[in-house]
C-alpha cells in the first residue's frame, strides 16, 4: 500500500502512467483473490466430504 501512495505522489509520472500502473496492480490483486477463493472452495469441499463419512 505504501508503494501505491508513493506512486500517487510521484510527480515524474503522468496521470495516464499512474492509471495504467494502478490498473495493472488491481488486476494482479484480483487474480490473487481468485486463486485464494479457489483454495477456499476446495477446502470447503473436502470438509464437507469428511463430514459425510
**Prediction pTM value:** 0.75
Distinct helix (H) and strand (E) counts, the chain: 2, 0
Separation CA 7–CA 10 (nearest Å): 5
Residue 8, domain extent? 2-52
- Other Cβ atoms within 10 Å of 14 Cβ, number: 10
Q: State residue 2's pLDDT score.
A: 87
- What pLDDT shows up at residue 52? 95
Q: What is the pLDDT of residue 35?
A: 98
- If you ran DSSP here, which 8-state letter would residue 11 be given? T
Please name which of 17, 32, 6 lies closest in space to residue 40, comparing C-alpha atoms. 32
What would the pLDDT profile of 16-49 be if each residue is shown by its tens digit?
999 999 999 999 999 999 999 999 999 999 999 9
For residue 1, the model assigns a pLDDT of 79
Count: domains in the chain: 1
Q: Give the integer Cα–Cα distance in Å for 5 and 1.
A: 6
* Whole-number pLDDT of residue 28: 96
Amino acid at each position: 500500500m505504501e508503494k501505491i501512495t508513493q506512486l500517487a505522489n510521484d510527480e515524474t509520472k503522468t496521470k495516464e502512467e499512474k492509471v495504467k500502473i494502478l490498473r495493472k496492480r488491481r488486476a494482479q490483486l484480483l487474480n490473487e483473490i481468485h486463486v485464494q477463493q479457489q483454495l477456499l472452495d476446495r477446502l470447503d469441499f473436502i470438509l464437507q466430504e469428511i463430514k459425510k463419512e
